Structure 1
């Protein structure tokens, strides 16, 4: 019998949604394992091992072959660009990557030809976005709350991930441009895909079978899953 497929999953809300999705294909995680401090979580049917890691590390684990597959947001995938396959949009974790600024801000140019300062945790994404538009900006890397940067005069605009827009509104910020839409994606190690093709194809087929009739993961039952 072959070893389980190892799947790297991002910690947080996306971990809950991913485990819920695998539960629907008969490969959930037992309650006692979820409640434990185990770093690798086996599926109840023995087909998978789940590796909860930081979102930005999922691509690294999958590209290196430490994990056969993974789940990660398109925003993280686009930022870090690991050399992996991404065969399936899992259609949960839907958000937008946007440019936002205080109400009344100038965009895409500042008065007097000043170079705009843009605070973001998505530095490479921002660099590509503004370069494609021929706009010169100074990027300010922020790892925490990006919304505070314009309020403190650290930046003119921000580039950040937005779900409902509530945090922007509460800080008197408005969306002035959209970079891309994002959702959770299944990614696969290239070598593993070749060596274990049948297993990967089965997984993709099963996930598609759950997602297609529903349209999105939000319609799946949540009973028994961690919150």
Structure 2
């Protein structure tokens, strides 16, 4: 039986989950339960070095679980961190799930053309608001939950701020990147109290994860 303190880790479901599991597997963590999930909600992984409970949640919930201490560590995209702005330590760039935020629009669009305020559709209003604040541009934000690329096509918005990976979705819908905003990738975050009460265990996970991603 492992005598190290139990660490609870919240993983973002989907693409980031799979990449994160590979990292932990490379660290020697037994991830068999995660690979054969069934209907389970919590996956216990234990050996002489680690005593970990993993659970899978949606990206916005990872920050909530970590902030309130239900999870000691979280794996989540930088896009979520920029939008949520909650209280925790951001300790590692895992260099997985790489993509970028960008301003995109139909071909021929220009931000400085015309006199009316430009309408910008986005799933990430805080990110978009900060981007245009830095540029000292007055815009009207429209929050969209679904396929944001549709907004300029049907005339709801002049442009969009969204995550771009390959750019193929933009191209297929006649949109082009006007300006890249920032690069994003998956990050490891840590609950502030856990960094004190479980410091040895948390730091070992951080250090071993860092070794894997820097190989």
Query: Under a length normalisation based on structure 1, what TM-score does the superposition of the two structures give?
Result: 0.89
- Give per-residue Cα distances to partners, 1:27-80, cap 9 Å, x unaligned: 132258623111111125362111100011111110000100001111110110
**In 1: Cα distance, 2:34 partner to 2:150 partner:** 40
Query: Which of 174, 178, 198 does residue 176 from structure 1 map onto?
Result: 178
Is the 8 Å Cα contact of residues 149 and 170 (structure 2) preserved in structure 1? yes
The farther-off stretch of 24-33 and 181-190 is 24-33
Does residue 1:110 correspond to 2:113, yes or no? yes
Aligned match for 2:54, one of 39, 50, 68: 50
Task: Note the residue ranges of structure 1 that are not aligned, 5 or more in a row.
Answer: 214-227
Alpha-carbon spacing, 1:203–1:32, altered in 2? closer, same or farther (3 Å): closer
Q: 1:78 aligns with which of 55, 78, 82?
A: 82
The answer to whether the Cα contact below 8 Å between 2:5 and 2:198 also exists between their aligned partners in 1 is no
Which structure's residues are more often strand, by fraction?
A: 2
- Residue 160 of structure 1 is aligned with which of 156, 159, 162? 162
Partner residue of 1:62? 66
How many residues matched?
A: 211
Asked if the contact 2:4/2:201 (under 8 Å) is kept, the reply is: no
Give the TM-score of the pair, scaled to structure 2.
0.94
Answering whether residue 144 of structure 2 is matched by residue 151 of structure 1, we say no
Gaps of 5+ in 2: none
Q: Who is 2:101 aligned against?
A: 97
Q: For the residues of structure 2 that align with 1:94 and 1:7, how far apart are their CA atoms? A: 21
- Residue 40 (1) aligns with residue 45 (2): no
1:82 positional shift? 1.3
- C-alpha separation between the residues in 2 aligned to 1:171 and 1:28? 43
Within the alignment, does 1:129 sit opposite 2:134 as a pair? Answer: no
